[in-house]
Structure 1
């Protein structure tokens, strides 16, 4: 039996990340701010943190004592060595996201915390729409261009599959504005977030496709100031390594008080 080809061309991804521009890494800076905010709400001190990131220069100053781990298929993490792991803005480019989470889970000590930040399914929805329409009109077909990112409702389940307790998934949408489609493409190159799908076209795209996409973008997604809007969904995942000290859900039927009493209302039984 032959296995399916990987979704992402990881060698090309590494090469493009190496050419990324720090000025374009605003999504990583947003994730860093989120990580610091969330940790400030946790009433404990982490003494053995690790951060999985393709851009260590951005994260290291904020976490000078953290172990920096490269974004590889096999993470350089020791079992049970960390009380905090931050997987920073690279899970959406993984060929095995569940495997990445399992590796992070194994690296955690008991009651250790995992924070994951990644791009979600609403990211670049505008670009996806106009490129698809433009390519269909010009060439009569579609090619893989924007990575199929996971929906938030599915990402929480991945934490449970990885064996993490108290899983939480949430998201926020960041909106950027660009002069034109070329400006947006330039910024994506600066982020290292351009198309690295294994099934991508291996020949140059016709200029007419991008011209039509730019026109559609301006028609449907122009701001009142005349710029183009681009959405980025930043998803945050939180999970803990299981521990007996963590709160456990009560068994069904074991409640000691009625919900109607707590809400100061009358309970009306449903008809059979």
Structure 2
């Protein structure tokens, strides 16, 4: 009898965090980070000389209005749908979009494969998620505080996909013209609690299956604030935080797309093109 692998995220805790995130953003407004991703997605789509006919946004937050508001009239999708989960996709789309949701996914390869199956020929997949450089300062401060107060580290921060891992995952989907790029954001917070509030807005509180469920006492919290301020304080009195958005783009193969030249088909040697002298070893 085989057993299913343990999930990285506790499903109950994850769902509670997501619902709390929706309530907070409905009350306070959408997170600045999600808004940045929505506007960046629109900018990327405007660079493509095409108006997509059937588009779907996947994710916990329905951010279609934010994307549409940043798009020119001639780039507005003819039909723009929304689903909360990739399993709810129906039929074929010529654009599948996901914003800041994949970092909470237990099975990223399966999600990408499933999305790929719903792309029309020459359809585009555009996914943005928080990458491995995100919250590097907080990770280090949490580790130092756990060592100092508890005598050892505990699981507190999401394991996140880095640039090279994203490239590998995208390469496995079978999409044509794959591209991975990153957007790194350096933010200054007047207090560490403001960073924690932003993480709650995005549903990024600790929902790991292996998390330590003991309540945090004042001694631990004071040590965390002290460690963060000591190592990552700025001259203006704020503390710094790094946020990284990784973008993955790929197209369902189609005969109209550019094809790489076959090896040996070049009509000019590289040394001739560069005007340099070729040296034989």
Show structure 1 runs of 5+ residues with no match: none
Kindly report structure 1 stretches of 4+ aligned residues shifted beyond 4 Å: none
Q: How far is the alpha carbon of 1:185 from its aligned partner? A: 1.4
Query: For residues 229 and 195 of structure 1, what CA distance do their matches in structure 2 show?
Result: 20
Instruction: Provide TM-score, normalisation by structure 1.
Output: 0.93
What are the equivalent positions in structure 2 for 1:63-212 lying under 5 Å apart? 63=68, 65-70=79-84, 72=85, 74-79=86-91, 81-212=92-223
Query: For residues 162 and 170 of structure 1, what CA distance do their matches in structure 2 show?
Result: 17
Residue 40 of structure 1: which of 35, 46, 70 is its match?
A: 46
- 1:91-147 deviation per Cα after TM superposition (whole angstroms, max 9, x unaligned): 111000011111111111001000000000000000000110110111111111011
Pairwise CA RMSD: 1.5
Q: How far is the alpha carbon of 1:61 from its aligned partner? A: 4.9
C-alpha change, 1:185 and 1:85, in structure 2 (3 Å) is same
The residue number in structure 1 matching 2:72 is none
Query: For residues 244 and 38 of structure 2, what CA distance do their matches in structure 1 show?
Result: 15
Query: For residues 9 and 38 of structure 2, what CA distance do their matches in structure 1 show?
Result: 25
Show structure 2 runs of 5+ residues with no match: 69-76
Residue 59 of structure 1: which of 64, 70, 76 is its match?
A: 64
Query: For residues 256 and 154 of structure 1, what CA distance do their matches in structure 2 show?
Result: 35
- Contact 2:38/2:66 (CA < 8 Å) preserved in 1? no
- Contact 1:176/1:230 (CA < 8 Å) preserved in 2? yes
What are the equivalent positions in structure 2 for 1:213-224 lying under 5 Å apart? 213-224=224-235
Query: For residues 65 and 190 of structure 2, what CA distance do their matches in structure 1 show?
Result: 33
